[in-house]
Structure 1
Amino acid sequence: MRLSLGIVTGFLGLKSFAASENTVKPRQINGTDYKVGFTPLKTNWTDTVGTSPWPEYPRPRMQRPKWKNLNGVWRYRNTTDSSLESPPFGQALEKPVLVPFCLESALSGVTGKNRIWSWYQTSFDVPSSWKASGNSVLLNFGAVDYEATIFVNGHKAGFHRGGYFEFSVDVTSYLKANGANELLVYTFDPTDMDKVQIPIGKQSLWRSDMIWYTPCSGIWQTVWLESTPTEHIAKIDLVADMHGQVNVTVHSNSNSNIAYEITVHELNSDDAKKIANGITGTPFIFTVDSPQLWTPDTPTLYNISIRYGSDIVQSYTGFRTVSRGVIGNVQRPLLNGEFVFPFGTLDQGYWPDGIYTAPSVEAMSYDLKVLKNVGYNMVRKHVKVEPALYYRACDEMGILVIQDMPSLRPQVDGVGQLDPAAQPEFNRQLALLVEQLKSYPSIFAWTIYNEEWGQATSPPWPEFGLSDMVRSLDPTRLINAVSGWWDHGAADFMDNHHYTTPQCGTPLWYNYDPADTSGHNAGYDPSRIGLQGEFGGIGTKVDFNHSWYKTLDGQSAYKLADDILHWNYLAGNLLTQLREQVEEFACSGGVWTQTTDVEGEVNGMMTYDRSIIRMNTTMFKDEIQALYAAAAKRANKTETE
């Protein structure tokens, strides 16, 4: 069935430079030989992407007016490890590639396999007004998987490791006084070859069962230039709570301690609601009187301006407080001091045409609108990090996010074996994840480990120290140390994975024993919040017009229904069971698997191409509201008992 969505049609009035008259956005068209590559399955957006993809300003929490989008057709060469010693300066690389789509995707035009070492090439001009100002020019990358070495006009300008994280390179000193500048990017992405253990989520070069997917290599998020003063804002950490208290740290590129001015604007206005002054590099706290609070039902956001010398950036925030507390002897997650029942889907974020990258912001937002339309108030972003515009969409729509850390490869030579060298890098990148995303109001909780993937299976258990690290970086959110099993009692959640029968907040199936390391610790620990971290997993075989694999044997799920009618029947039964566990036990949240089909895994709310919505939307709306009502009734009942 198709769904007509009469809800959020765009971003809700936050300031954006995407259409500003000051925006400079010519595209890079390096040759005319680009075309979409082969894909077994298209979406409704595949053929609308063109050669100017993702034109929106890509960093909504720190926007500047002078910027230039470098997405478009670049040149590409598949290469070898040794080629980094002799970069192809001044050469025309052989193949076209559409940035920002990873090399394995149809939309990249490459659609390659085993793209371990790669060269990208493009050229760019710097607007004359930027040169005249004497400002710096920053080259920004949303994400490159896995390592990126940057060359500008024959000079090595920067290096970055970590396939999910944004980074910037100051290229001012490498620019030509006049004319085009050559940009080369060398990427290395081993994924899971040869026992390598790096954060990869569900990417795999060699696994073929249903829960491992096509890898994503190279540039897969927007690349852009921006003009900044020599002394400028490098990062903003900002959180605002239910009492109107704003805690902000403005970091400068020089780590100096200089005054700045911050303005919180009235809703839908340029008028100032509050003006305050702080010092860069130092946490600064001030209070805004009587703010409207951010909740999933009322996702109110406030525009913010920060002036640091001649650098002016636009940002935003929502006022809300995430915590946990005991209500009627049950540990509950709290939003603004009240028990909220977070209920959403396992959100993989894969696309048949773009793999890791949606064809457009419109396509990316469509998934969230479908979920919001039936009443889901949360997504668990599963072992992947999305572009910043995804989190802005969640902020604006009122969708809570449980954000997973991308997992290490689960096995090396045996179940649960961990390469000792992998742990320090995992720890470093976990810190990058928190630092990059901790200012988005929609982020509700962090997940460190999914099941046993890359988790050490002998003491000392790493999740205790990592929970402490995450808490030190972000004390404003909850932490799910281990989603699924091999749980030893760390952090805020007791998280169970059980597909065919939910087991949320109840001791009926298993008793929790933190000393037991021999199997799944899937019981209930009353000292923490009971969460059904994954359940459902029901699927149906899909017509080949809407399936990644063109054989029925290639389609699988944890449980297959005969058709969509029976799929909804089984789904209704599972939702009823979860509601009963809310009513009778200590269930405080749930995650349905999953938003969409992914490749051979056919258990989504929608097919992989987003063309068929399996949900009986009336039934799902009723059942989800019944869950919320049961949680509210249980909270009120236990408070008065």
Structure 2
Amino acid sequence: MFSPRPVLLAVAAVLLSTVGVASADPPSWQRIEPALKTPWSDQVSPSNALPEYPRPQLTRDRWQNLNGVWQFSKATAGEAPPIGKNLAERILVPYPVESALSGIMRHETNMWYRRTFTVPREWRDRVVLRFQAVDWATTVWVNGKQVTRHTGGYDAFSVDVTDALKSSGDQEIVVGVSDPNDAGEQPLGKQRKPGDGIFYTPSSGIWQTVWLEPVAATHIERLDMTPDLAKSALALNVRATGGGIVEAVAYDGDRMVGRVSGMANAPLSLPVPKPHLWTPDDPHLYTLRVKLNGDQVGSYFGMRSISLGKTSDGKTRMLLNGKFVMQMGPLDQGFWPDGIHTAPTDAALRFDLEQEKALGFNMVRKHIKVEPDRWYYHADRLGLLVWQDMPSMMTGREASPTGRANFESELHRMIDQHKSFTSIVTWVPFNEGWGDYEVGRIADQVKAWDPSRLVNAESGVNCCDSEPDSGRGDMYDNHLYIGPGAPMPSETRAAVDGEYGGLGLKTPGHEFDPAGSFAYEIVPNSTVLTDRYVDLQKRLTLIKQRCGVSAGVYTQTTDVEKEINGFWTYDRQVSKMDFAKVRAANEALIRSADTAPPGEFPPGKPGIDGIDAYAFNEGQGTVARDSVGGHDATVTNGGWADSALTLTGNGQADTGAPLLDTSGNYTVSAWVKFNEVGGAFQTVVSQDGPRDSAFFLQYSGADRKLAFSFVGERALAPVTPVAGQWYHLVGVRDAAHGQLKLYVDGQPAAVRDACLTDKTTGNTVIGRGKYGGNPVDFLNGSVDEVRVYDRALTDAEVAAVHTRGR
């Protein structure tokens, strides 16, 4: 019996050619049709299930692939492993049990795999069994002997099985897996049971390659490689199972360029004179050969640096090899309708990256998932910078001490196993508050584990369930749909648009769930979709130049299950945009000038009367007079009391015109009294845009604070307001300095960097906002003395407006 804490169940696999069964007609792997088929679905068979050597940065000539048909069965928690017993079903490894390609296509929390193998006679050394990834808790027996346990769904593990092997004949492996999925406290990324919305079908069990290889008793287990451009060298540490002298030789093609020897498990510096730098435009790689006591492995590396620095405009930006390169890429989820977490073939795994490169991208964000090593190898060869996310823990659930320990252990292992890939330039430990905790500490820890890369402490720190910005890490990451947002760098951090876009197009016959398909904005055809994308890229170009943004991540590479916002359909069968125009837009963005002169802002009307003003002294009727301008407001569902307009959560006063040029400087002033201050947003004054308000002078229910806001950005007062009390709110948009300023009762209360906004043509409205194309955030309270100004008032002028009172 094996321990049920955690329940580590076992599964056995038997290749049909090597396993005897009692029945004359044994079960076989059965192909199941997925909801959508990719171009590679029918290429998968028991004889070619991912046959490539899985570890490109540590290769050996001799190995045995154990992918193929294994025996399979559901397991019961606590039961004994089925040593020597045939199992009733057949599964194709390494496709997850929920996938069509596995031949099972259902979820199991506990499962057994079983198979046999033979050891080649010429293998005289130690034999190591390797699993590239199993989700989540795994126990392994060889010939009835338990040889290892492992927890972690995204990292590789291995075990020396030599002492468990028989001298000859068939050897038996039984593997038990337990995957609690979203009921557990482990990193699981976007897996949910069942998949829904922005979360997807889970992937349990063995989902990456399993293999055997012979090694010496003292052998190389890992190569830690970090380019050191300052020294024209590769910092190398040969991690080995024992001591000894290692020799490492670097080649550029067939030409040897550097050699070093020294002790294993110790820092070495391998000279690379006049290094040929790796860039997305020129992804040059060197070959590496390493020897230790007769053990020899092959590898490769690239020479590049990633850092922060100031550009000519004084802004902090991300630098590649000491130069600013705008990083532009898609959000890449890595899900498949036939294999879920596992691409059907290596060509399929490579396809997404090849298409991203062909679309003119130079970066890709690997979102909430870790890929097989060959994915990063392809990114290295193609020339794509990679932001690597850590798979998140469960959303909406506070992590326990056990959960936190799991997360940090797996995060450390993920970094250690991937930190030698040239393409990876940024680690992203958290996203949008999903299972986050102690964000600043974790960011510092990641930086300590790998000082050579940038750290994005929390992607989307401005939204959703994120903790307040810790100020840590190397960048401030803004998420805004449709966006893009316009964040600004600080003295110590770059600014990036970590997610924007999400434009969708329905493609009949290629939707995973036609009835449930959704996107942030759905357009009618490919032409409109392409034009909208090009417009967003032009907008991001201006944000890059004026605000100093260093990177953008568009959502997303392909449709994923119900999401229909990809460049490709989920089955990779249909391209949804004019790719030539997409490529041109991306290249124009990346290669555009780093800076652009700021816009010219007119001085505006002097004085503190404003350009329009509403005193709400009428006391009756449906018209509120504009005492300064010519834009009387129409009142809907409003009342009058105490020389003010009263609204009860469904009314407004519409001025009938866009009173403000929202692309420039302006100020909005109002007195307001809230009937209640709970979790709902309440907007006092706004101006309608095509989809969202250009600004919101408001109460933020999410923060329980008064605010002056753009979508995704809020200048928040530090004190929670009290229901039934009058407040004087003033929001100042200082476009010249890229700031939102909030004043409460004549005093400065908050400042927020917000670089750029659009000119909107919708009406200025009192008593509500607009979001997602709909009226929202209706005021429940009273409003008085609303004034708007076509310039940014000074502190003294705001104080003077307040002194006038109501």
User: What TM-score bracket applies, with the shorter chain setting the length?
Assistant: 0.7 to 0.9
In the alignment, what sits opposite 2:776?
none
**2:20 aligned with 1:44, yes or no?**
no
Structure 2 CA distance for aligned equivalents of residues 300 and 279 of structure 1: 28
Deviations along 1:435-484, whole A, 9 cap, x unmatched?
0100000001000100100013xxxxx22222222122211100000000
d(CA) in 2 for partners of 1:442 and 1:29? Answer: 41
CA deviation vs aligned residue, 1:507-555 (integer Å, no higher than 9, x gap):
xxxxxxxxxxxxxxxxx64531110000000111221x21111x3x310
- Aligned: 1:122 with 2:115: yes
* Equivalent of 1:94 in 88, 95, 117: 88
Say whether 1:438 aligns with 2:419: yes
In the superposition, the TM-score normalised over structure 2's length comes to 0.69
Corresponding residue number in structure 1 for 2:428: 447
Instruction: Indicate the SS of the match to 2:181.
Output: coil
| 1:546–1:118 CA distance, 2 compared to 1 (3 A) | same
| 1:460-479 matched pairs, under 5 angstroms | 462-479=438-455
- The amino acid of 1:200's aligned partner reads L
TM-superposed CA distance for 1:215, in Å, is 0.2
CA positional deviation for 1:390: 0.2
Aligned to 1:7: none
Runs of 4+ in 1 over 3 A off after TM superposition: 26-32, 524-527, 631-635
Deviates more, 1:396-405 or 1:27-36: 27-36
Is contact 2:260-2:268 (8 Å) kept? no
C-alpha contact (below 8 Å) 1:411/1:418 kept by paired residues: no
Distance 1:39 1:163 in 2: 23
**Equivalent in the alignment of 1:13:** none
- CA distance in 2 between partners of 1:105 and 1:620 (Å): 32
8 Å Cα contact 1:499/1:534 also seen in 2:
yes
Please give the alpha-carbon distance, in whole angstroms, between the structure 2 residues aligned to 1:632 and 1:488.
28
8 Å CA contact 2:139, 2:177 repeated in 1: yes
Residue 143 of structure 1: CA displacement? 0.1
Alignment of 1:126-275 (within 5 A): 126-130=119-123, 133=124, 135-193=125-183, 196-206=184-194, 208=196, 210-243=197-230, 244-254=232-242, 256=243, 258-265=244-251, 267-269=252-254, 271-275=255-259
Instruction: Give the distance between the partners of 2:559 and 2:168, measured in 1 at CA.
Output: 50
Q: What is the CA–CA distance in structure 1 between the aligned matches of 2:225 and 2:200, rounded to whole Å?
A: 35
Q: Is 1:493–2:475 an aligned residue pair? A: yes
Confirm or deny: 8 A CA contact 1:233 1:308 kept in the other structure.
yes
Q: Alignment partner for residue 309 of structure 1, among 274, 293, 299?
A: 293
Q: Which moved more, 1:572-581 or 1:346-355?
A: 572-581
Match of 1:112 among 103, 106, 111: 106
Distance in 1 separating the partners of 2:113 and 2:70? 7
Moved more, 338-347 or 621-630: 621-630
Matched with 1:547 is: 511
Query: Aligned letter for 1:620?
Result: V
**Paired-residue identity, %:** 39
3-state secondary structure, aligned to 2:260: strand
| CA contact 1:27–1:69 (8 Å) conserved in 2 | no
Q: Which residue of 1 aligns with 2:310?
A: 326
Contact 1:341 1:631 in 2 (8 A): no
Q: Which amino acid aligns with 1:493?
A: M
Amino acid corresponding to residue 276 of structure 1 in structure 2: V
**Secondary structure, counterpart of 1:428 in structure 2:** helix
* Structure with a larger share of its residues in helix: 1
CA contact (8 A) 1:27 1:70 kept: no
* 2:444 alignment partner, SS class: helix
TM-score (norm 1): 0.86
Contact 2:195-2:202 within 8 A present in 1 as well: no
Q: Could you tell which deviates more after superposition, 121-130 or 241-250? A: 241-250
C-alpha RMSD of matched pairs (Å): 1.6
Aligned to 2:579: 617
Deviation string 1:142-167 (CA, Å, 9 cap, x unpaired) is 10000110000000000111000001
Distance apart, 1:319 and its partner CA: 0.6
Deviation at 1:27, TM superposition (A): 9.6
Q: 2: distance between equivalents of 1:198 and 1:91?
A: 31
2-side partners of 1:197 and 1:568: how far apart? 41
Q: Please say if residues 131 and 209 of structure 2, whose CA atoms lie closer than 8 Å, have aligned partners that are also in contact.
A: yes
Q: Distance in 1 between matches of 2:194 and 2:36?
A: 21
Deviation at residue 633 of structure 1 after TM alignment: 5.6
What corresponds to 2:687 in structure 1? none
- 1:599 aligned onto 2:564: no
| Deviation (angstroms), 1:584 | 1.5
- Give, as a single letter, the amino acid of the residue that structure 1 aligns with 2:325: V
1:347 is displaced (CA, Å) by: 0.4
Q: What is the distance in 2 between the residues matched to 1:372 and 1:334?
A: 20
Find out whether 1:35 has 2:34 as its counterpart. no
Would the alpha carbon gap of residues 101 and 28 (structure 1) be closer, same or farther in structure 2, given more than 3 Å must change? farther
- Partner-residue secondary structure (3-state), 1:81: coil
Shift of 1:501: 1.9
Provide the rounded CA distance (Å) in 1 between the counterparts of 2:222 and 2:587.
Answer: 39
Aligned length: 568
Structure 1 residue identity aligned to 2:408: N
Instruction: State whether residues 332 and 366 of structure 2, in contact with CA within 8 Å, keep that contact through their aligned partners in structure 1.
Output: yes
Contact 2:259 2:270 in 1 (8 A): no
Which blocks of at least 5 consecutive residues in structure 2 are unaligned?
1-14, 20-25, 598-806
The residue identity in structure 1 corresponding to 2:152 is G
Greater gyration radius = 2
For the 8 Å contact 1:64–1:313, the answer to whether it is kept is yes
